[in-house]
Amino acid sequence: MESKEFIKKLKAYALKSSAIVAFILLWEAAPHLGLIDPIFIPPPSIIAAKIYQLLLSGELLVHTVASLERVFLGFIIALAVALPLGFLIGGWFKTFETAVDPLLQILGQANPFTLFPVFMALLGIGELSKIGIIYWVCQWPVLFNTVSGIKSVDPVYIKVGRSMGLTKFNLFKKVLLPAALPAVFTGIRMSAVFAFFMLIGAEMIGAHSGLGFLIIQSEAVFNMPKMYAAIVSVALLGIAINYVMLKLERRAMSWKEDVAV
Amino acid sequence: MAKIESVNVKKIFKIKKGGNQYDELPALGGVDLKIEQGEFMVIVGPSGCGKSTFLDLVSGLTLPDSGTITIDGKPVTGPGLDRAIVFQQNALFPWRTTLENVEFGLESTNPDRDNRREIALDYLSLVGLSGYHNHYPHQLSGGMKQRVSIARALALNPDIMLMDEPLAALDAQTREFLQRDILRISKESHKTVLFITHSIDEAVFLGDKVAVMSARPGVIKEILDIPLTAEQRAEDDVVATKEFVQSRLILWKLLKEEVVKVQESQIRFQNQAVAQSPARGIGNGLINAVRVLTKI
């Protein structure tokens, strides 16, 4: 019985990874077959070897840490600003919301890449402008999702809370907050993804460290394997961050019904 | 003194028409009702007659526009722990286990954690759900959820249970079992119950008295004493007794008139809506425009 189960699982994994494996095999074979120029697109084996080499030399780690530091700071500041603001706007101040919502919508729609020069002009080309732009990008999904999460809490939950004589603070803590949590988490997860996009962009424009810098700098000196090594590292890091966020979300909302999508 | 007394209670809803204009929708048109201590009072009425609005007023979640509701002679000014509500459905907090749901109301009154847990477990077993304390609501059936809702309300040990169509969303068999449990628990714990339903059978089976509400704006049209004894209600063939059948018939006749009124008013409303259709609106607009122009 158990071996049957095992084989079943193995088959499922094989099916799931078949496209990835095929893609890598094709990529690996293409330069050897003369289909693509290995100077511009080196095969995965060379990229993997380069990543390994960069890991050993410690170079990759230095740049990854530099990138993660920026993401983390910008992200945390965004949470610290957008979460309380979202709760305040969504939960308490109806008139305030009506007044500021249009402005917030416009600001949130502004393409952050176009604002990057503004941030550089205001905060210089150092760390501050990069963290600033990441903060800027991160705050919108958190803010909008928090506001709509609070506003769409089922009124019957609020009725239950009020009928049991909860104070306003307790009503917020015990009813509104947990009820809005799924929406809030969606915002946080979106933010994490945006933060990472923006980071690489910011590092490509003006930086002396970070994975984005590594990509641009390798391209400048025409070190293609190194450039691809950095690109793949960015992709892997993005997957890892998304994975961690999903795990956190599951943990915070273990009560949620699992619905297959 | 009556436990709950409602004197000429009126409630008008304001419905936004756009801009600063409001339509007034009278929901309750002067409700007079007395409920004695320990009495099981059922309100039946056509849909939209204001039954639930009245229950909200007794709970204190909303306040009447005129008239007074008193409990033990004291006017209701807001929600209180002497009254607990059981809502129609899906009012359990999905992020709390059944035990935590039942503990919810106790958290603000009872600082002793272990004691809270004990009380909650007791009430869960009272509604027949011992062993389910670690389940989340989505893991329970509709009937079980309503049992938890009832346990949550009972855990506060309120004098009054306000039940807003608590069984309306359940299937017929589950409903019958729960009706019997509600009857048993309310009598054993000597609660005063105000129960809203649109099912006549449910009203006759549960109620010591059944109040029939008129179509909107709701008033109490008539109050019927149900002559069934506790022994009769406990029997499986209670629905075949003379008392049950007669009460049912009287209630149906009273209610039928009101349901017909609702239907008629709906037809009127539809006709009105047709009369005020956009095409007509544009026509009026044109006429007005011509009038303005000719004045100039």
What is the ipTM, given to two decimal places?
Answer: 0.81
Average pLDDT over residues A230-237: 89
Cα dist from B49 to A228, B53, B213, B280, whole Å: 70, 9, 7, 31
Do residues A166 and A107 share a domain?
yes
Percentage, residues of chain A above pLDDT 90: 16
Average pLDDT over residues A34-46: 86
Residue B163: predicted pLDDT? 93
> Which carries the bigger pLDDT value, residue B206 or residue A116?
B206
Using CA atoms in the order A231, A233, A239, A240, what is the torsion angle rounded to 10 degrees?
A: -160
Indicate whether A259 pLDDT > 60. no
Whether the Cβ atoms of residue A66 and residue A209 lie closer than 8 Å to each other = yes
Q: Which residue has 């709509």 as its token pair?
A: A148
Q: Which residue has 């249009």 as its token pair?
A: A102
Is B36 contained in some domain? yes
Is B131 contained in some domain? no
Instruction: Give the amino acid at A85.
Output: L
Confidence of residue A4 (pLDDT cuts 50, 70, 90): confident
Average pLDDT over residues A7-27: 89
Give the burial string for A8-41 (b: 16+ CB within 10 Å, else e): eeeeeeeeeeeeeeeeeeebeeebeeeeeeeeee
Is A99 contained in some domain? yes
Do residues A104 and A2 share a domain?
no
All residues of chain A having their beta carbon less than 8 Å from the beta carbon of residue B94 are 255-257
The number of folded domains in chain B is 1
Do residues A32 and A56 share a domain?
no
* Chain B: closest CA distance from residue A108 (Å): 28
Confidence of residue B133 (pLDDT cuts 50, 70, 90): confident
Confidence of residue B290 (pLDDT cuts 50, 70, 90): low
Alpha carbon B155 to chain centroid distance? 20
Contact A164 B90 (CB under 8 A): no
Is A258 contained in some domain? no
Indicate whether B46 pLDDT > 70. yes
Q: Please report, for chain B, how many H helices and E strands are present, in that order.
A: 9, 10
Is A257 contained in some domain? no
Of A156, A165, A170, Cβ closest to residue B79: A165
Mean pLDDT taken over chain B: 85
**CA separation for the pair A42, A21 (Å, rounded):** 17
**Which DSSP category does B9 fall into?**
E
Residue B255: predicted pLDDT? 87
**Which DSSP category does A37 fall into?**
-
Alpha carbon B154 to chain centroid distance? 17
Is B186 contained in some domain? yes
Q: Which residue has 């039954």 as its token pair?
A: B51
Is A147 contained in some domain? yes
Is B120 contained in some domain? no
* Structural domain containing residue B50: 4-82+158-265
Which of A199, A202, A205 shows the shortest CA–CA distance to A233? A199
Instruction: Give the amino acid at A147.
Output: V
The number of folded domains in chain A is 2
Do residues A104 and A19 share a domain?
no
Is B272 contained in some domain? no
Indicate whether B285 pLDDT > 60. no
Is A261 contained in some domain? no
Is B175 contained in some domain? yes
Residue A78: predicted pLDDT? 93
**Which DSSP category does B72 fall into?**
T
* Structural domain containing residue A7: 1-36
* Chain B: closest CA distance from residue A193 (Å): 26
All residues of chain B having their beta carbon less than 8 Å from the beta carbon of residue A156 are 87, 90-91
Contact B59 A157 (CB under 8 A): no
Average pLDDT over residues A228-254: 87
Indicate whether B283 pLDDT > 60. no
Element (H, E) at B24: strand B21-35
